[in-house]
Amino acid sequence: MKNIFGMGKIELEEILVAQNYPRFRAKQIMDWLYQKQVASFQEMRNLPKLMRLELEENFSIEHGTVISALHSKDEKTIKSLLAFTDGEMVETVLMKQPYGNSVCVSTQVGCNMGCSFCASTLLGMKRNLTAAEMLAEVIYNQKLLKNAKVTNVVLMGSGEPLLNYEAVLQFLHMLHDADMLNIGYRNITISTSGIVPMIRRLAKEALQITLSLSLHAPNNELRSQLMPINRKYSLDELFPALDEYVQLTKRRITYEYILIDRINDTRECAEELAHLLKNRLANVNLIPINPVKERGYKRPSLGRVQEFLHDLQRKGINATIRKEMGADINAACGQLRNRKQLLYKEEEA
Ligand code: SAH
């Protein structure tokens, strides 16, 4: 059975017309799927009964099922685990902020990048998500919001988005599509560990999205320790690609910098980082690490974090400390899924 969820309007119209239905039914179906987030054809009340039955016989609506959801006490953050038809699971997070509602999307099941501080990579990468599955993450969160709208999407869940390039690009178009989510590219952020050829390719798409680069260290030696990808694409290759990205898109790049106690939070590191970003169109986002039990890294004191921030600012670098959302459910990315996977393994044993 063909999955109707995530199908573009033109394809849907063609299918409907071939079955002798009028073209305008496509828009109605999309309205039910993406604006009203229904789960079955029976709920599509403005379609003739016979048509609903026929659709039901020929199509499925695959938008994942929720396995568990953690709500922060203030209800501003909801972290959910979704399962897809093959049983694979991903995490997605809804963050209600004063400026809008953000959804954090996973792009792969697990991750292969092997970053030493990250929980998503502990069990390796199972597979890429399809564009429709990424869309399902957003629609699921949209449904949680009821009347309010998802206004921002960040591709910062598990996975390396630029290693699932085609599907990610297709997903961006779906987010932007007026018949789907109607979200402006400026409200979409892609976070990458630094896949150089794909950054160059993305630059040529000239989309007005925000590129966020997970830097985490100001020199090759330390970055290679924290992020194995740096052994393949070192800072010497990465920065020319990022500079080209800025040149082609005229967009400022966000640099994510996790602060890990006594590893990359020293004054020398701040100094080196400021030097690296000097004269570059950059925003630094400092993120006190979410400690992952399996990894043994610690979070620096608040004083240390602020000192790092001021060291950067004194050198004229734009920097902010990332506001922490839902500290009470602040299991680091990937931990919810890992725990579930382990539970399943225990159940199977
Ligand atoms: N693969 C992409 C996107 C997923 S990771 C990337 O590397 O950017 C999204 C962000 O979460 C990255 O900046 C990543 O470094 C960060 N992250 C991973 N583990 C973390 C942890 N334990 N604490 C805080 N941030 C973490």
Tell which atom from ligand 1 comes closest to the C-alpha of 292: 22
Cα 177 versus chain centre, distance: 18
Task: Kindly give the number of the ligand 1 atom that is closest to the alpha carbon of 155.
Answer: 3
Characterize 105-118 residue by residue with b for buried, 16 or more Cβ atoms within 10 angstroms of its Cβ, and e for exposed: bbbbbbbebebbbb
Give the closest residue (by CA) to ligand 1 atom 22: 290
Q: Is 191 a pocket residue for ligand 1 (Cβ < 6 Å)? A: yes
What pLDDT score was predicted for residue 336?
Answer: 66
Q: End-to-end distance of the chain based on CA atoms, in angstroms?
A: 33
Protein residue whose Cα sits closest to atom 8 of ligand 1: 192
CA atoms within 13 A on the CB side of 334: 26
Q: In angstroms, rounded to a whole number, what is the distance separating the alpha carbons of residues 340 and 331? A: 13
Out of 333, 336, 338, mutate this one to test ligand 1's pocket (max ligand atoms within 8 Å of CB): namely: 333
Atom number of ligand 1 nearest to Cα 159: 1
Q: Catalytic residues, which ones? A: 91, 333
Which residue's C-alpha comes closest to atom 5 of ligand 1? 156
Nearest CA-CA partner of 47 in 24, 63, 80, 70:
24
Distance separating alpha carbons of residues 113 and 124, to the nearest angstrom: 8
pLDDT of residue 86: 96
pLDDT of residue 293: 74
- Cβ(286)–Cβ(309) below 8 Å: yes
Q: Specify the ligand 1 atom closest to the Cα of 191.
A: 8
Query: What pLDDT shows up at residue 337?
Result: 73
The pLDDT value given to residue 349 = 43
- Under 8 Å between Cβ of 285 and 322: yes
CA atoms in the 13 A half-sphere facing the CB of 123: 21
Which of 111, 162, 191, 283 to mutate to test ligand 1, by most ligand atoms within 8 A of the CB atom?
191
How many Å apart are CA 284 and CA 319, to the nearest integer? 4
**Is the CB of 258 inside a 6 Å radius of any atom of ligand 1?**
yes
Cβ–ligand 1 distance for 164 under 6 Å, the answer no
Q: Is the CB of 108 under 6 A from ligand 1?
A: no
- Distance from the alpha carbon of residue 260 to the mean position of ligand 1, in angstroms: 13
pLDDT tens over the chain, length 349 residues: 899 999 999 999 999 999 999 999 999 999 999 999 999 999 999 999 999 999 999 999 999 999 999 999 889 999 999 999 999 999 999 999 989 999 999 999 999 999 999 989 988 999 999 999 999 999 999 999 998 999 999 999 999 999 999 999 999 999 999 999 999 999 999 999 999 999 999 999 999 999 999 999 999 999 999 999 999 999 999 999 999 999 999 999 999 999 999 999 999 999 999 999 999 999 999 999 988 777 789 999 999 999 999 999 999 999 999 877 776 776 555 666 766 665 544 444 4
The CA 223 to ligand 1 mean position distance, Å, reads 14
Question: Phi/psi of residue 308, each to 5°?
Answer: -60, -45
pLDDT at 329: 76
Which ligand 1 atom is at minimum distance from the Cα of 118?
Answer: 19
CA 173 / ligand 1 centre spacing (Å): 24
Distance 69 CA to ligand 1 centre (A): 21
What pLDDT does 83 receive? 97
**Protein residue with its CA nearest to atom 24 in ligand 1:** 289
